[in-house]
Chain A
Amino acid sequence: MNIFRLFGDLSHLAAIAILLLKIWKTRSCAGVSGKTQLLFAVCFITRYIDLFLHFVSLYNTEKVMKLIYISASVFTCYLIFFKFKATYDGNHDSMRAEFLIVPAAGLACLINTKFDAIEILWTFSIYLEAVAILPQLFLISKTGEAETITSHYLFAQGSYRALYILNWIYRYHYESHVDTIAIVAGVVQTILYCDFFYLYITKVVKGQKIVLPA
């Protein structure tokens, strides 16, 4: 474990917590893409499938973190699609998730480390995570604005994989560890946040709200 991965995981946890708090406190999921949250839940379930297959005692933080990610993302989907369904902005959350799931599944069958079920699921999860934020960014571009708290969520979510890139550089240099598929997908994922990062740094940090040119 290195500092980059530690802060990456903390940033990811913060993102999940910020979103849960925003929905719970405002009792509304306006401005939040339910599809993105569904895709994240699928990512966690397919990536941590080993938790369900051979249940091991929660002997280390990694198992606990995996359970937190899965339960928090499923709970977030419950809040969006059931509890606060009335506030879900369905007609702006209109990016076709199938256009993300099918290519990720196809690519996972073509480019993977080992052609076995668990590995394919893991690879699918990595590819899907890289593009899972697109419905959320699409929704913001359609509504033309993002609540400040939602911007903080996006910043934390984007920073997590950016920090993981630093973690991979560190591990390549000190442990000569390379996980090419995760690295390529992580770079693509982080690039998708670039224009949001620019808006966040230039606007939100100064206390302004993000308003996209409609």
Chain B
Amino acid sequence: GYYKYKHDEL
């Protein structure tokens, strides 16, 4: 499935 690439770090 479509994996929303999100940078979750500062």
A113 in contact (CB, < 8 A): yes
Q: Chain A contacts of B7 at CB under 8 A?
A: 122, 179, 182
Provide the residues of chain B in CB contact with A9, threshold 8 Å.
10
Residue A35 is within 8 A (CB to CB) of chain B in the complex: no
Q: Could you mark each residue 91-124 of chain A with 1 if its beta carbon is under 8 Å from any beta carbon of chain B, else 0?
A: 0000000000000000000000110000100100
- Name which residue of chain B comes closest to A186, CB basis: B9
- Kindly count the residue-residue contacts between A and B in the assembled complex, taking CB atoms under 8 Å apart: 17
Contact A113 B5 (CB under 8 A): yes
Which of the four size classes fits the interface of chain A?
Answer: 10 to 19
Q: How far is the CA of A164 from the CA of B8 in the complex (A)?
A: 13
**CB within 8 Å of B: which A40-95 residues:** 62, 65-66, 69
**A5-B5 in contact (CB<8A):** no
A66 partner residues in chain B, CB cutoff 8 A: 10
Residues of B within 8 A of A114 (CB): 5
Binding site for A on B (CB under 8 A): 5, 7, 9-10
Question: Could you give 16 example pairs across A and B, Cβ below 8 Å?
Answer: A5-B9, A9-B10, A12-B10, A62-B10, A65-B10, A66-B10, A69-B10, A113-B5, A119-B5, A122-B7, A164-B9, A167-B9, A179-B7, A179-B9, A182-B7, A182-B9
